């Protein structure tokens, strides 16, 4: 249904955008470096803590980060 928030386990990849994205918000599963690609295509590494909510449009979570596992992505 349009307008519903959907949640997905993020499929981290260094080369391919997540097929369930792009995401409007991420919830981080573990602490450490979280390399992402923004909706606009910029590569950024965020130092994340476990349980941190990142309200940033993201099209890819790279698999090379310490915090790249257990990430949940939300989208409308």
Q: What is the mean pLDDT of residues 20-35?
A: 95
DSSP per-residue codes, 5-68: -EEEE----SSS--TT--BSEEE-SSSEEEEEEETTS-EEEEEE-TT-EE-S-EEEE-TTSTT-
Confidence at 65, pLDDT banded by 50, 70, 90: confident
- What confidence tens digit (pLDDT) does each residue in 1-15 have? 567 889 999 999 999
Q: Name the residue ranges covered by the structural domains of the chain.
A: 6-75
Token pair recorded at residue 36: 């992402």
pTM for this entry? 0.89
Burial class (CB in 10 A: 0-12, 13-18, 19+), 1: exposed
21's tokens? 């994205």
* Largest distance between two CA atoms of the chain: 35
């Amino acid at each position: 249904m349009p307008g519903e928030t959907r949640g997905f386990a993020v499929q981290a990849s260094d080369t391919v955008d997540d097929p369930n994205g792009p995401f409007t918000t991420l919830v981080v599963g573990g602490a450490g470096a979280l390399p992402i690609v923004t909706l606009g295509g910029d590569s950024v590494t965020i130092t994340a803590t476990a349980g941190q909510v990142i309200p940033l449009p993201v099209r890819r979570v790279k698999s090379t980060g310490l915090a790249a596992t257990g990430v949940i992505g939300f989208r409308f």
